[in-house]
Chain A
């Protein structure tokens, strides 16, 4: 289709959808309404399981299977990216070029921030059931900590840590652990993904039962995923090249 025809078709569709949107949102309660029945039930359930962060309670306790699905999507995408960015039949893997010089200031800043970021990431993961945060957010912070090495040092520094060796194993292990935690509940007769650990006192560091465990598992899994993802893209850029014409 010509560009103009495409835009006209789109325009008609957009106008139609806009009309439908006005009809739909016109009939909804106003934004800021007091009526939220699901919220009332969810807050009560979170309090019953001594989980201070209600969002974490929903994600890892009440609607844990949605989070399991999300974790699986993460796993699937990482496997997919690894598959799609693999060296093709007509490409080869070559050692990276020597790194360009990095400013001393950048290097110091990177190395100094590395332990700080790791601590912050661990804190976000471990307190996910008490404060905003949790496994997913903390996992991303942990992964970026690793890539400070890339900014501060160079790609060879990352190679020394060798995330591409252990990350693709830690990630499926993390997802597998998530499923196993759910299955333990099933085996205990309480139902799949039931909160079977003692829930403790609301607000205490060791409370909320399996929410804490799943937070940690998710954090590890997500951290390994992001490391693998970034590693694959970096590898594609730096290390994979066309086969030399023989």
Chain B
């Protein structure tokens, strides 16, 4: 398969499989981790969008922008931002999970029945 097909497919697959993880999950920790998996799909999408064959890292030498092209640094900056956001939201959701385990006595989503209707 070509690189293009593999890259886009992996990106889409990760997002969908992460969502599947949430739908099927019997443990809230798995739910939170599946959410992270879904976000990694977006990282693959962005990095793939910025890739160029034969290009080098976006670090400028002493001569400034040289003759070799560099890969797209913008998508790397976006992914960097998103990784921080994802880590912090994961921490937040895990804190909620810890408290749910204490208050509900379970971390199984099927057994959380406090909100209905």
Contacts and interface: CB of A to CB of B under 8 A. Distances in A.
Direct contact of A and B (CB under 8 A): yes
Interface of A: 6-7, 10, 14, 17-18, 21, 25, 28, 30-34, 36, 38-39, 42-44, 46-47, 51-55, 57-59, 63, 66-67, 69-70, 73-74, 76-78, 80-81, 84-85, 130-132, 136, 202-203, 222, 229, 232-233, 236
Given A25-B12, A31-B48, A77-B92, A39 B84 contact: no
A234 B60 CA distance: 42
B8 A31 contact: yes
Interface in B74-95: 74, 76-77, 80-81, 84-85, 88-89, 91-92, 94-95
B81 A32 contact: no
- The secondary-structure label for the interface of chain B is helix
A54 B73 contact: yes
- 7 closest A-B pairs by CB: A77-B88, A25-B8, A32-B53, A54-B58, A54-B73, A58-B77, A39-B72
B92 A203 contact: no
Contact of A38 (B48, B59, B62, B74): B74
B60 to A, nearest CB: 5
A74 B84 contact: yes
Contacts of B94: 233
Given A43-B60, A70-B85, A36 B4 contact: no
B114 interface: no
B113 interface: no
B57 A132 contact: yes
B50 A202 contact: no
Given A38-B74, A39-B73, A55-B77, A85 B98 contact: yes
A52 B52 contact: no
Contacts of B57: 132
Contacts of B76: 55
Contacts of B24: 7
B61 interface: yes
A233 B73 contact: no
Interface in B1-18: 2-4, 7-8, 12, 16
20 contacts: A14-B19, A21-B12, A30-B4, A36-B50, A42-B73, A43-B65, A43-B70, A46-B73, A47-B60, A53-B60, A54-B60, A55-B73, A59-B81, A69-B81, A73-B88, A74-B88, A80-B92, A81-B92, A136-B84, A203-B61
Nearest to B63: A202
Contact of A236 (B2, B12, B98): B98
B97 to A, nearest CB: 10
A38 B72 contact: yes
B112 interface: no
Contact of A55 (B52, B61, B65, B80): B80
Given A31-B8, A59-B80, A84-B92, A47 B74 contact: no
Contacts of B7: 31
